[in-house]
Chains A and B, each alone.
Chain A
Amino acid sequence: GENVEQHPSTLSVQEGDSAVIKCTYSDSASNYFPWYKQELGKGPQLIIDIRSNVGEKKDQRIAVTLNKTAKHFSLHITETQPEDSAVYFCAAPFTGTASKLTFGTGTRLQVTL
């Protein structure tokens, strides 16, 4: 099965700064890497994902990069805002079943004023 490691576990940044969260995975056959955001009292919500045929994907202030050789992928949030404060999870699929995900342990991001 897949093993996903996520760092850091907590991250505090000032409003307007950038935040970067990194994940590594073990299965070289993995081809889909989603990022989920979980706000207090809510379930995780997909914010961006990347397929293995591209190295980078952007959506406004959020971007994800993928290095297949090194087997790691990262979430980049630019111009952080207080509403970005949440727990972020990376995930990767079990081999052979795209919808069966292994999640990282989460990063608690705190954006301070």
Chain B
Amino acid sequence: ETGVTQTPRHLVMGMTNKKSLKCEQHLGHNAMYWYKQSAKKPLELMFVYSLEERVENNSVPSRFSPECPNSSHLFLHLHTLQPEDSALYLCASSQVYYSDSPYEQYFGPGTRLTVT
């Protein structure tokens, strides 16, 4: 186990549904990330939170809405998704974000999302 948990592990939702993905890290880290992993494509960084403040939004459609209520929890709220949003959504954390020296990112197991 990496110390990063994600729930649910699998999710099937219709295009009109609203659902949320949850991520929790038990490592005492200050930065948390959401990535999208689609088949045959590189991991795509979606959002970054540093000290509970959103510091990166990589042109993600507004149907994805992140929330970071504290440094241990990260949510991704989903609404009116499209079939092309089906993918593995990975959460990660690192000790810090802003630094000249990189810190290892620890990934959760991901949520496999299918939009029907």
Contacts and interface: CB of A to CB of B under 8 A. Distances in A.
Interface string A14-41: 0000000000000000001010100001
A99 B107 contact: no
B109 A43 contact: yes
A100 B56 contact: yes
Interface residues of A, number: 24
A104 B42 contact: yes
B105 interface: yes
A34 B105 CA distance: 10
Nearest to B101: A98
A88 interface: no
Interface in A35-74: 36, 41-46, 49
Interface residues of B, number: 27
B94 interface: yes
Interface string B72-116: 000000000000000000101010111111111101111000000
Given A99-B102, A101-B105, A44 B90 contact: yes
B21 interface: no
Contact of B40 (A97, A98, A105): A105
B89 to A, nearest CB: 10
Contacts of A98: 99-103
Contact of B2 (A41, A43, A97): A43
Nearest to A4: B42
B102 A93 contact: yes
A43 B92 contact: yes
Contacts of A89: 42-43
Given A43-B108, A97-B97, A98-B99, 10 more contacts: A4-B42, A9-B40, A41-B109, A43-B110, A44-B43, A44-B90, A99-B98, A101-B45, A101-B105, A105-B42
Interface of B: 2, 4, 31, 40-43, 45, 48, 56, 90, 92, 94, 96-105, 107-110
10 contacts: A43-B107, A43-B108, A97-B98, A98-B100, A99-B99, A99-B102, A100-B48, A100-B56, A103-B43, A105-B40
